[in-house]
Amino acid sequence: MGETAKDIITGVKWTSIQTIINRSFGFIIKIVLARILFPEDFGLIGMAVVFTSFIKVFTDLGFGAVLIQRKEESLNKEYFSTAFWTGVGWSVLIFLIVSFIIGPLTADLYDEPLLLYIVPALSLGILASPLNLVHRAQLIKSLSFKRLTVINNFSNITSGVIALVMAYYGAGVWALVFNSVANTFIAVPLFFKATGWTPQWVWKREYFKDLFGFGFFTTLSALVGKIMAQGDYFLIGKLLGKTELGLYSFGFILTDSIRAQVKSILNQVLYPIYSKFQSDKKKQEFIYSNNVFFNALLITPIMVAFILGVDIIPRIFGEKWVESTIIIQLVATSIIINGGSINITSVLRANNKVNIEFKFQLFKVLVLYLPMVYFGIIKYGIVGSAIAVVAFRLIELILDYSLMKIVLNFNVGQVLLEFIKGLAPSFLAAALIYLLMVSNVLKEALILKIVLLLILISVFTFFFYKNKIFYFLKLRKGGG
């Protein structure tokens, strides 16, 4: 893989450092809040996020993806400035809509007056987000992930520390609200300093049309993705209430948030790489297959640990969360399945297939996901919704592989093989641990079985793939 592998490894390294630090602080905050608050409080945040996450999709109109995908010769200062000022004007309009229309409607819909204030507060980041749009795209396009890591970590740590202090002194839910928006404002001057770019007082129609033509479909795809991400939250909140939604969302916070972070890391690193090799499908296929392999190799152990060691959750967070344990196990199972086709959207966008991406996403959400979740909730409540997520991601895997074959001309058999190879160490270790559990050897040893599980996975991984691991470690030393 040569220089490309070094770029990927370096990018993943720095983006992972950023994510680990951010997730560590975020996890600390959630532990504190989980000890202080109750499922009803988490349910209120879940209700608000259903709507604010939809709105945030529209903050940059997909312009960030355009700036990364376009070749260098098609970009100039006027192009960047057009993207910047369009984003600023659009974000002000969106924030006003959230404050005076969406907030009151959300409060009335759920009959929760506090949402009238929570929804606009969670949307404050909309005002600052476009100020970082061009700078972030420039750093990603140039693969300057170290600078991105420094900026994001500083802003997230600063906002996280303040949020922890707020939580300690009884701010409760508002500490989480503050943490979700303050980091965006803190990052603004850091991005300006990192790139040295400042916008010109110029806006050109032809550049806007080019930006909007590509960004329109990516924005619609992102909107459909948010419907998929928040559709179950909305249905549960509306049909079952805030307590059930709190229990359900807690299960996703501990598990699916890890998948989302890994997906974000890989998207950020690999999207510019895939864009670089738009005319070399074999290269893209090779990179994608290795992406699937390493994702399965790294994420599956964590999910298997959740599935086998879920009994420890109530001991850490309290018995009030015991009903979330089955949700955690089911979501963890769905994440393992999802790893087989992770980040397919990055490849589609890099190959300018944004219209196909949108139509495909729309079909999956409206025809499959939402109906499956709805009937799952009606039949079995929050457990039924989680079962529907597992079933959907299995069907989605089959559909994604079909799309790879037809549109991208990928060798899906090779992708599937790499996926299975990535799963193998965790599945073998899990089978051994399960045999010890059913034979009562590890029935009560919660910590021991998790430690033993991770040791076995490490041993199997080294035994099966030591040559491949050493190869990438060697590249890392040479290119980090």
Cα distance between residue 312 and residue 328, in whole Å: 12
Cα distance between residue 271 and residue 70, in whole Å: 12
Cα distance between residue 96 and residue 77, in whole Å: 29
pLDDT at position 479 is 46
pLDDT at position 384 is 94
pLDDT at position 213 is 65
Q: Domain segments of the chain: what residues? A: 2-479
Supply the Cα-derived Rg of the chain in whole angstroms: 22
Burial call 128-165: b when 16+ CB within 10 Å, e when fewer:
bbbbbbbbbbbbbbebebbbbbebbbebbbebbebbbe
pLDDT at position 225 is 76
Closest CA to 91 of 122, 60, 117: 60
Tokens of 361: 């996403």
Q: What's the longest Cα–Cα distance across the chain? A: 72
The strand ranges marked E within 83-139 are: none
SS3 content of the chain, % helix, strand, coil (to 5): 90, 0, 10
CB 338 within 8 A of CB 303: no
pLDDT at position 437 is 77
Per-residue DSSP letter, 404: I
Cα distance between residue 165 and residue 244, in whole Å: 29
Digitized pLDDT (tens) for each residue of the chain, 480 residues in all: 455 656 666 666 666 666 666 666 666 666 666 666 566 666 666 777 767 766 766 666 677 777 777 766 667 788 888 888 888 888 888 888 888 888 888 888 888 888 888 888 888 877 777 888 888 888 877 777 778 878 888 888 888 788 778 777 877 777 777 877 888 888 888 888 888 888 888 888 887 877 776 666 677 777 777 777 778 888 888 888 878 888 888 888 778 777 777 776 766 677 777 777 777 788 888 888 888 898 888 889 989 988 988 888 887 777 778 888 899 999 999 999 988 887 788 888 878 787 888 888 889 988 999 999 999 999 999 999 999 999 999 999 999 999 988 888 889 999 999 999 999 999 999 999 888 877 776 666 677 888 888 899 989 998 888 877 776 666 555 444
The C-alpha torsion from 102 through 106 and 112 to 113, rounded to 10°, is 20
Q: How many residues would you count in the chain?
A: 480
pLDDT at position 480 is 41
Cα distance between residue 373 and residue 384, in whole Å: 7
CB 358 within 8 A of CB 224: yes
Cα distance between residue 29 and residue 292, in whole Å: 31
Cα distance between residue 334 and residue 330, in whole Å: 6
